[in-house]
Amino acid sequence: MTKEHKIKLIEELSLNAWPSHKIELYDGWLIRFSYNYTYRTNSVEQVGPSSIPIDEKINYCESVYRNFRTPVSFKINPLIDPAFDTLLAKRGYTIRHTTEVMMLDLDSRDSFRPYPSIAEEYEFYGRNSGLPSWIDFPHDVTVSLRDTITDEWIQGLFRLNGTVNPVLRRIVPSMYKAIPKQTIVASIDVDGRMAASGLGILDRGYLGLYAIYVEPGSRRKKYAHSICSAILTEGQKQGCQKSYLQVVKGNTAAKTLYESLGYRDFYTYWFRWKNESR
C-alpha cells in the first residue's frame, strides 16, 4: 500500500471514529458541525470528487457556518491539492491547530514497547468482549477497562478536559455513543474520581488512540503510559496490527510519551480558519 493510500485509509478511519453532531454531504465535501467541540468535528473535509466550481463551494460552506454562527474551517491534509490551501490563504483564512498523525506497528516487537503490567483481573458478568476488568501496573496504578462508553466515563472526561459549556455537555455524549466501531474504554480512578482517561477504537485491523487525558495533580505518575499500554495491548489481542493517533503540534510531553511506546510520525494536517460568523 502506498503512503497516499495509507493516508486515505487513516482519514477514513478517523472519520468513523469521531462522528459529528451534524453532517452534510455536499458535492464530495463533508460539512461537519458540533458547536466547536473540536476542530475535526467542526470543519469541511474533502472525501470525494467535485463538480461545482471551487469558489462557489467555499461560498456555500461559509454560508452554512454563518448560519450556525460559528467560524468556518477547512481541513487540509497531504491529499488536498496545495492550490486549494493557497486559495484559502488568499481569501483570508489562517492556519489553526496543526496536527501530527503518528503510526505504530503493533506486530513488531522492535516497534511496540508497552509499559509492562503486573496482573489482570476479569469479571465476566455482562461482558462479551473478553477484556480484563482491571490491569495493574507498578506503583499502585490500576487501569479499568470497559467495552462500552458510559455516561459516567463521559462526565469524568468532561471534568478532565474542562468541558463546562451546557450545550456541549448535552450534545457531546450522543457523539461518543454514535461511534459505530468496537471500543476499549479506559480510566484510572483516584479517591472516587476519574483521574485519567483513554479510548481505543478498533476498525479493520487498526486501533485509533483517543481521549488521553490526565488531571494536573496526577501527572508524572505513569497514568497515561499505563492507559495507552493497556489499550494497545488489548487491541493487539483482538487482532489489531497497527495503531494511529493524532497529537497537536507542539505538545512535547504527549509526543514524548507516544514515541516511547513506538509511535513514529506519518503525516501532518491543519485547518484553515476564518471567522465569518460575526
Tell whether 65 and 131 lie within a shared domain. Answer: no
β-partners of residue 118 are none
Average pLDDT value over all residues in the chain = 94
Distances (CA, A) of 87 to 50, 56, 57, 99, 228: 16, 13, 12, 21, 39
- Give the containing element (helix H, strand E) for 54: helix 54-68
Taking the chain, what is the end-to-end CA distance rounded to the nearest angstrom? 45
Domain check: are 122 and 194 in the same one?
yes
pLDDT for 126? 52
Same domain for 175 and 202 = yes
Kindly state whether residue 263 falls inside one of the protein's structural domains: no
- The predicted pLDDT at position 217 comes to 87
Number of domains, the chain: 2
- Beta-bridge mates of residue 141: 137
In-domain check, residue 185: yes
Q: Are residues 111 and 95 in the same domain?
A: no
Q: For residues 22 and 135, state if they share a domain.
A: no
Report yes or no on 11 lying in a domain. Answer: yes
The pLDDT value given to residue 278? 53
Whether 54 and 143 share a structural domain: no
Q: Is 259 domain-assigned?
A: no
Q: What is the mean pLDDT of residues 186-198?
A: 95
State which residues form the domain around 221. Answer: 107-240
In a domain, residue 253? The reply is no
Please tell me the predicted confidence (pLDDT) of residue 89: 97
pLDDT tens-digit series, residues 121-130: 887 655 556 8
Digit-coded pLDDT (tens) for 1-18 = 899 999 999 999 999 999
* Cell numbers for 255: 509526543
Please report which confidence band the pLDDT of residue 208 belongs to, taking 50, 70 and 90 as the band edges: very high
